[in-house]
Amino acid sequence: MVYDPVLADEIRSVLGDDPELTLTERRMFGGLSFLINGNLAVAVHGSDGILVRVGADAAEELAGTTAATRAVMGARVMKGWLEVGAEHLGVESELSVWVRRGVDYARSLPPK
């Protein structure tokens, strides 16, 4: 699995050491995924950018108002997931906003 290790480190930095979160990392989706309390929040895939889980309603809105696009796996559009290209993550604050969106959604789900 190939993913951008620098971007993965930047995500770790954004996530920090929040004692209320159980953070795990797992290789999946062709990259490295970050799970919060057992729920996937964000993933680094290839050198293309990140995959963010935001929920179906938010995904529809954000796909229309930001640089994010609907995530597609094979021929299937993944409801509630967005892809954000690396070119839209250049500023740390942009990455932080996307990671926080994923974390907030993962925290809204029951722990696994």
Predicted local distance difference test score (pLDDT) of residue 1:
61
Query: Could you tell me the residue ranges of all domains in the chain?
Result: 5-108
pLDDT-based confidence at residue 29 (cuts at 50, 70, 90): confident
* Amino acid found at 65: T
**In 3D, which of 44, 53, 24 has the Cα closest to residue 86?**
44
The pLDDT tens digits for 1-13 are 688 999 999 999 9
Residues 14 and 100 sit within 8 Å (Cβ to Cβ): yes
Query: Could you name the CATH architecture of 5-108?
Result: Alpha-Beta Complex (3.90)
- Over the stretch 72-93, which tens digit does the pLDDT of each residue have? 888 999 999 999 998 998 766 8
Position 49, amino acid: G
Residue 79: the pLDDT is: 93
Predicted pLDDT at 19: 83
| Model pLDDT for residues 55-67, shown as the tens digit of each residue | 999 999 999 999 9
Instruction: Report, in this order, helix, strand and coil percent for the chain, each rounded to 5.
Output: 35, 35, 25
Measure the CA–CA gap between 5 and 3, rounded to whole angstroms. Answer: 6
